[in-house]
Amino acid sequence: MSLLDAQDVENLSYAKLLTPVDHRGTRRIHRRCIADASDIQYRHLPFIPYTASNSEEMYATIPDRFISRATLEHIGFNETRAASLWELWANSHTEYLNADPDDLHVHMSFLEHATDSLGEDFVYPGADASGEDDQKWFDCMTAWGIATNRQEVIMDLEFRQLRLANDSCLHWVLDTLGERYLDLMRIRKDSKTRATMISALLCPLTSHVRSRRWTRR
Give the C-alpha separation, 206 to 50, whole Å: 29
pLDDT at 44 over 70: yes
Q: Is residue 47 part of a domain?
A: no
- C-beta separation of 67 from 97 below 8 A: yes
Q: Which residues of 120-145 are buried (b: 16+ CB within 10 A; e: fewer)?
A: eeeebeebbbbeeeeeebbebbeebb
Q: Is residue 39 part of a domain?
A: no
Q: Is residue 4 part of a domain?
A: no
Query: For 129-158, how does the pLDDT look when each residue is reduced to its tens digit (9 = 90+)?
Result: 888 889 999 999 998 999 999 999 999 999
pLDDT at 98: 73
Q: Is residue 197 part of a domain?
A: yes
Question: How confident is the model over 37-55, as a mean pLDDT?
Answer: 90
Question: How confident is the model over 163-192, as a mean pLDDT?
Answer: 91
pLDDT at 206: 39
pLDDT at 217 over 70: no
pLDDT at 1: 79
- C-beta separation of 137 from 169 below 8 A: yes
Give the C-alpha separation, 70 to 186, whole Å: 17
Q: Is residue 6 part of a domain?
A: no
Q: Is residue 128 part of a domain?
A: yes
pLDDT at 123: 52
Question: How confident is the model over 40-46, as a mean pLDDT?
Answer: 93
Percentage of residues of the chain with pLDDT beyond 90:
56
Q: Which domain holds residue 192?
A: 65-216
What global pTM score does this model have?
0.85
* Domains identified in the chain, total number: 1
Q: Is residue 122 part of a domain?
A: yes
Q: Is residue 13 part of a domain?
A: no
Query: For 84-116, how does the pLDDT look when each residue is reduced to its tens digit (9 = 90+)?
Result: 999 999 888 877 777 777 888 888 889 998 988
Percentage of residues of the chain with pLDDT beyond 70:
87
pLDDT at 186: 94
pLDDT at 126: 55
Between helix 6-14 and helix 169-216 the angle, nearest 10°, is 70
Give the C-alpha separation, 25 to 7, whole Å: 19
Give the C-alpha separation, 184 to 97, whole Å: 17
pLDDT at 177: 95
Question: How confident is the model over 199-208, as a mean pLDDT?
Answer: 52
